[in-house]
Amino acid sequence: MPCDVSRWSITAHPTRCGNASHCPWTGVREMGIVRKTIRGLVRQTGFDIVRYQGKRLGVDPYKDMQRFLKGVNEPVIFDVGANVGQSVDDFKATFPGCTIHSFEPSPSTYQMLKAHCEGVSNVQAWNYGVGSVDTTLTLEENEYSDMTSFLRPSTLAWGNIVKSTEVPVVALDSFAKDHDVEFIHILKSDTQGYDFEVMKGADRLMKENRIGLVFFEFIFSDQYTGIPPFDEVYRYLMDHNFTLVTFYRQFYQREVIGWTDALFINREFHKKRLEDYQPTGLRNWE
């Protein structure tokens, strides 16, 4: 049923203002009641109304990465755990001129990734896993491809393992050397609990300040065996000259946090950005 706001009658509270027609609070109170009423009606439909966040950090990771890469028209992006190409679409929409190296270890999922990226400029799909060293590992392929991991599923995982596949794994340090990659503007990793190993394989790149941003999923819950504690990952990144920018939307399991995405920035990269794009005021920089 449509809401006819014009039928509402709102008056000032007598203990606050004796004369409603001259009360400075009347308009504020009216607007507040209107907002609460409309929001209540919307919530009954299963949705909600939230305040527009504008340029605030921590809302949209792609807008945040675009913000930190201001002036970079052709960023190099490593998309580790590309699945069927969802993040390729997001990166290309945000950075049309970017070059993307997409890594997907599952042979069957890789075929879908390759088909998805066919005809997309400057996107190279690689049928590799990414880890701490160049090796061969057993990939536990889940019936849900986005749950596939090098780690065994644990109590809070979902889906069934349909097969175990031996796949080649590369370390980013050796891959960058072999393919003459001088700088990685964004390292995105979504490998279902294996992201710390991905970072370890980029040890030299990080120490040489050759990665600008690291965007990755961290799983807190017991989805896979062998997931490192967050403080260990955080300390590793801090020791490799990165600092935390923000976390994004949190997902919960059994009433506690299950997983979230995090964005880190290299301190040298950030320092240069501050020098090149010094803000005119704090409000514009928040």
60-113 confidence digits (pLDDT tens): 999 999 999 999 999 999 999 999 999 999 999 999 999 999 999 999 999 999
Structure tokens at 59: 């809302």
pLDDT value at residue 142: 97
> Which amino acid makes up residue 6?
S
Residues in the chain: 286
Q: Long-range CB contacts (< 8 A, 24+ apart) of 155-162?
A: 155/222, 156/221, 156/222, 156/223, 156/253, 156/254, 156/258, 157/223, 157/224
Superfamily of domain 61-284: Vaccinia Virus protein VP39 (3.40.50.150)
Place of tokens 């009423």: 37
pLDDT value, residue 26: 58
Q: Quote the pLDDT of residue 41.
A: 72
Residue 72: what pLDDT? Answer: 96
- Residue 253 pairs in a beta bridge with 256
268: number of Cβ within 10 Å:
14
Find tokens 């590369």 and name the residue.
Answer: 170
User: Looking at residue 52, what is its pLDDT?
Assistant: 47
Q: What is the pLDDT of residues 12-64, one digit of tens each?
A: 444 444 555 555 555 656 666 766 677 677 667 766 655 545 579 999 999 99
Q: Which residues contact 54 (CB under 8 A, 6 or more apart)?
A: none
Q: What pLDDT, on a 0 to 100 scale, did the predictor assign at position 277?
A: 73
- The mean pLDDT value for 245-273 works out to 96
Q: Which of 245, 248, 220 is nearest to 232 (CA)?
A: 220
Residue 203's H or E segment, with its range, is helix 203-207
CB 137 within 8 A of CB 129: yes
pLDDT band, very low/low/confident/very high, at 225 (cuts 50, 70, 90): very high
Domain with CATH 3.40.50.150 in the chain: 61-284
Using one digit for the tens of pLDDT, what is the confidence trace for 192-214? 999 999 999 999 999 999 999 99
Q: Which two tokens stand for residue 117?
A: 């990226």
Would you state the pLDDT for residue 8? Answer: 44
Look up residue 222 and give its DSSP letter.
S
- The per-residue pLDDT for 143 is 96
pLDDT in tens, 135-175: 999 999 999 999 999 999 999 999 999 999 999 999 999 99
Amino acid residing at 69: L
pLDDT for res 29: 63
What is the predicted pLDDT for the residue at 37?
74
